[in-house]
Structure 1
Amino acid sequence: MESLQPIDIFHLMYDNDPFSKWMDMKLSHIEKGSCTLEMTVKEPMLNGFSIAHGGISYSLADSALAFAANSRGPQCVSIETSISHLAPTAKGDQLKAVAKEKHRGKKTAIYEVTITNQHNKTVALFKGTVYITSKNWNNIK
């Protein structure tokens, strides 16, 4: 069986991901071990301070992590994540999340995700650890 490419795995995941679709995340780059997603902050994503809810940047980073980690073929699930919010984001802001693999072992991998706005200002830093399962995306298609 021919091995799936990262873009194929992305589509298998994204096509069954109503939350990432609701956030209107768009893929701008994917390769083994990395993924870049972009999205625009919309009014329903704002909190009581009229800035984006922290869960919005967290969710964007978490999805970038998921697509990057799974891009190699084995199915991965997050086991620990954290985020530091460095600057607020507002309605209309264009956010970009760049996930990069920092370590990949036999059972776990670590990723860093940097989120920037349309001015290339870093608004959040995210770190995620995933567990690499014995299931493989190549067996699903």
Structure 2
Amino acid sequence: MTQATTQATDAVRPNRAMMERDRASASLGLIVERDDPGHAVVSMRVRDDMTNGFQITHGGFVFALADTAFAIACNEDDRVTVAAGADISFLKPTVSGQTLTATAIRRARTGRSGIYDVTVVDEQGDTVAEFRGRSRTTSQTF
């Protein structure tokens, strides 16, 4: 099994253990470029098999990229945090060969609930999608 690549070099974080077991992200070739508490950056090169019948990137893959950045950002400590919901707006189509980058930022976290915004851009910095994730922290630990 191939694992999603982590390029960050800081101390081990619980979200890194999560990513080591994340087969979906690994199969997409996602690269974790930053994994700070409340902030994550993840990139993905769009492959031919990620395009739809119009030869543009399938929205599900853009969502998966944003969702992974969200998951990394919201798993800020040793408590397992999962998605309670998410919405995405697709703003610009992309095609095979392009590299997409998702940047997730914590907007609010109180009690067991959090809100995180993720912006997905192409290699020119144009916004491809905006994603808002709502998190719920569980009683489980890593």
Give the secondary structure class of the aligned counterpart of 1:76: strand
Whole-Å separation in 2 of the counterparts to 1:80 and 1:7: 27
Query: How far did 1:71 drift?
Result: 2.4
Residue aligning to 1:57: 62
Query: How far did 1:6 drift?
Result: 7.3
Give the secondary structure class of the aligned counterpart of 1:60: helix
Residue aligning to 2:81: 76
Whole-Å separation in 2 of the counterparts to 1:76 and 1:23: 22
Residue aligning to 1:45: 50
Whether 2:117 is the aligned partner of 1:116: answer: no
Give the aligned CA root-mean-square deviation in angstroms: 1.3
1:20 pairs with 18, 25, 37, which one? 25
| CA offset digits 1:85-120 (Å, max 9, x no partner) | 000010011100000000001110000000000000
| Structure-1-length-normalised TM-score | 0.90
Q: Which runs of 5+ in 2 are unaligned?
A: 1-9
- Cα distance 1:111–1:64, how it changes in 2: closer, same or farther (>3 A)? same
| Structure-2-length-normalised TM-score | 0.89
| CA offset digits 1:105-141 (Å, max 9, x no partner) | 111000000000000000000000011111222xxxx
Whole-Å separation in 2 of the counterparts to 1:70 and 1:62: 12
Whole-Å separation in 2 of the counterparts to 1:37 and 1:136: 24
- Matched-pair identity in %: 32
Instruction: State the AA in 2 paired with 1:47.
Output: N
Residue aligning to 2:72: 67
**RCO greater where, 1 or 2, for CA within 8 Å and sep 6 or more?**
1
Number of aligned positions between the proteins: 133
Query: Is the CA contact 2:31–2:44 (under 8 Å) kept in the aligned structure 1?
Result: yes
| CA offset digits 1:32-81 (Å, max 9, x no partner) | 11110011000110000000100011000001111110122211110110
